[in-house]
Amino acid sequence: MTKPILPGAAIGVLGSGQLGRMFAIAARRMGYRVHTLSPDQDTPTGQVADVEVTASYDDLDAVSEFARRVSVVTFEFENVPAPTAEAAARCAPVRPSGSVLHTTQQRIREKSFLTKGGLPTTPYREVRTLEGLDRAIAELGCPAVLKTAAFGYDGKGQFRVDAANSAPEAWNAIGKQEAVLEAFIDFDCEISVVAARGEDGQFVHYGAIENQHNRHILDVSVAPARVAPKIAREAVDLARCVLEKLGVVGVLCVEFFVARDGALMINELAPRPHNSGHLTVDACVSSQFEQQLRAVCGLPLASTEMHRPAAMANLLGDLWANGEPDWRAACAFPGVKLHLYGKLEPRPGRKMGHLTALNHDPEEAYRTVLAARRSLTR
């Protein structure tokens, strides 16, 4: 094991969105300095970091100089190019490693890793040509979902295939690029497990979190998930297996479909803190962002004990359609916490913030967070 990186050191974050912002807040609270690099300026992370570097991820000289000025580098999102991670790793430790990033940022590599590891996934086929898509549809049937292999998130780069004759339309819709075709799953619900693993193999998790989506974007999360205890335990066991097989040092989220019969299928991996884990900031002894910091710095991981059940609702730019939302109305709900990300321009579908509701009953927390969000635009 390497020596721990102690408070007072500088932590480098590649990326500058809301995940980096919440990480930076956790890091500064523990006495660390935070540097962030991205192509943008006045970013959610940059607003609270000590140093904001504006540079392209392809500017490897700038990336190398950035990494030389910090003690460790971590990621705020997984779509950082592999050469960027390699350039940073020549100057400072990178956690999670570039190999974890390489596997999880591309769906074909991710699916192959899961399949070879004997882990349950949705049935899928690799697609590289229109003819290959025709064959995949014939094998999997319809409906199915065509997803770009790289750089897809929040529903981007996806097309639902309802009939075999719509293959050309689907292929054009995703830009005629490498993809996977996944069988459409009639699932009961979606859950995620946010977990952290240290360099010494220590593992902690936040249990199963239930997720609801709208327009392919996470809408509401509830913890603990309203699923059978056996399903929750199995999800945690599978998440631990994923982190160990990948050799993760840091935080990783495993997203699952829960089939009608209770079977679990891994949908996606995210090698970073996750939107569904935002509720841990208010609901748990230590948040997912503190765990990320502790893991990448080689500190012991902290307690994930939940003070009480919680529900989180995303606030998208759509809420600004008729002017500034009524923040006073939402804050009038006892037990509701408001988090805004400092983004300068609200746009439809853009994550601008979230609300978290705490309650002794997860169902009541769920109802409260929805009511608080509705109050913003009455």
Fold of 123-183: Dna Ligase; domain 1 (3.30.1490)
Token look-up 């479909």 returns: 257
Q: What does the block give as tokens for 32?
A: 């660390």
**All structural domains of the chain with their residue ranges:** 10-94, 123-183, 187-375
Residue 225 predicted with pLDDT over 80: yes
Identify the pLDDT of residue 152.
Answer: 60
Mean pLDDT throughout 40-58?
97
Confidence of residue 232 (pLDDT cuts 50, 70, 90): very high
Rounded Cα gap, residues 212 and 198, in angstroms: 30
276-288 pLDDT tens trace = 999 999 999 999 9
pLDDT at position 154 over 60? no
What's the chain's length in residues? 378
pLDDT above 80 for 162: yes
Buried b (16+ CB within 10 A) or exposed e, 351-371: bbbbbbbbbeebeebbebbbe
Cα of 260 vs its chain's centroid, Å = 25
Query: 179-193, 235-249, 307-321: lowest mean pLDDT where?
Result: 179-193
Q: Which CATH class is domain 10-94?
A: alpha beta
Find the mean pLDDT for residues 307-311: 98
Average pLDDT over residues 127-132: 94
User: 2 pLDDT band (50/70/90 cuts)?
Assistant: confident
Look up residue 113 and give its two tokens: 């890793």
Q: Do 123-183 and 10-94 fall under one CATH topology?
A: no
Output the pLDDT for position 78.
84
The pLDDT score that the predictor gives to residue 1 is 65
pLDDT at 145: 93
- Selection from 278, 260, 176 nearest residue 218 by Cα: 278
3-state helix, strand and coil shares in percent for the chain, rounded to the nearest 5: 35, 30, 40
**Nearest C-alpha neighbor of 370 from the set 342, 321, 326, 336:** 336
Give the pLDDT of residue 155: 56
pLDDT the model gives residue 153: 61
Domain 187-375, CATH 3.40.50.300 — does that match? Answer: no
Distance, in Å, from the CA atom of 195 to the CA atom of 206, rounded to the nearest integer, reads: 6
pTM: 0.95
